[in-house]
Amino acid sequence: MTLIYQNYHRHSMYSNIRITDSVVSNEEYAVRAKELGHGIISSCEHYYQGRYIESHEMAQKYGLKFLFAAEAGWVKDRFEKDRSNCHIILAAKNENGRQAINDILSEASISGYYYQPRIDIPLILSLPKDDVWITSACVAAWKYEDADDIMLQFANHFGNNFYLEVQYHDTDMQKDLNKRIIDLANKHNLNIIMGCDSHYIHPEQEQERTDFLNSKGLFYEDENGWYL
């Protein structure tokens, strides 16, 4: 059996609305997905679901499946002044899932906004467990001391639709987290998924992104060793 990786965790220029992060377009992702024999294009952006109408159009244009997704920011309690802004991937399996994710992301901007839109644990657990996929996203998901217990809470609710996400960054933090995730998954029989967390497509675009960040006066020190 041949397994084809699907790049569900990616960011385009539409993430720049919330975090200055990328210079590539949805169409560039669609073209590369087609070239590599992938089957999807995701709308995943930082803190929201991206310009998902365009992602849907690109899916139709290039013969791909459209995946409605977001890398949301979450805290334990959105009514508290908590700037932890942990990350989590929310993806819809069907229309009911899409609507439910839209609802809680809207609530993040209504009752959960504090510097950034934030969902919280009750909102995450309000999602229909059979209609969504949830992953633990990047290292930013694990900011709370009891993060393992929170992940187990999500796993107990969403069952096989919840995944602990490992990534390929060459940093001590990522390597330590990957080991922690593997241990947690083995102990509790949880699913693991590999996320790219891609911010550009071709190696030469690294400099384009760096130039773009520099033009905004930005430099992300914690990205040393990241494979973006």
Q: What is the pLDDT of residues 13-54, one digit of tens each?
A: 999 999 998 999 999 999 999 999 999 999 999 999 999 999
Task: Give the residue extent of every domain in the chain.
Answer: 13-223
State the DSSP string of 67-120.
Answer: E-EEEEEEES-TTS-----EEEEEEESSHHHHHHHHHHHHHHHHTS-BSB--EE
Q: What is the pLDDT of residues 111-132, one digit of tens each?
A: 999 999 999 999 999 999 999 9
Domain 13-223: state its class. Answer: alpha beta
Where is average pLDDT lowest: 14-23, 56-65, 218-227? 218-227
- pLDDT reported for residue 154: 98
Q: What is the pLDDT of residues 145-199, one digit of tens each?
A: 999 999 999 999 999 999 999 999 999 999 999 999 999 999 999 999 999 999 9
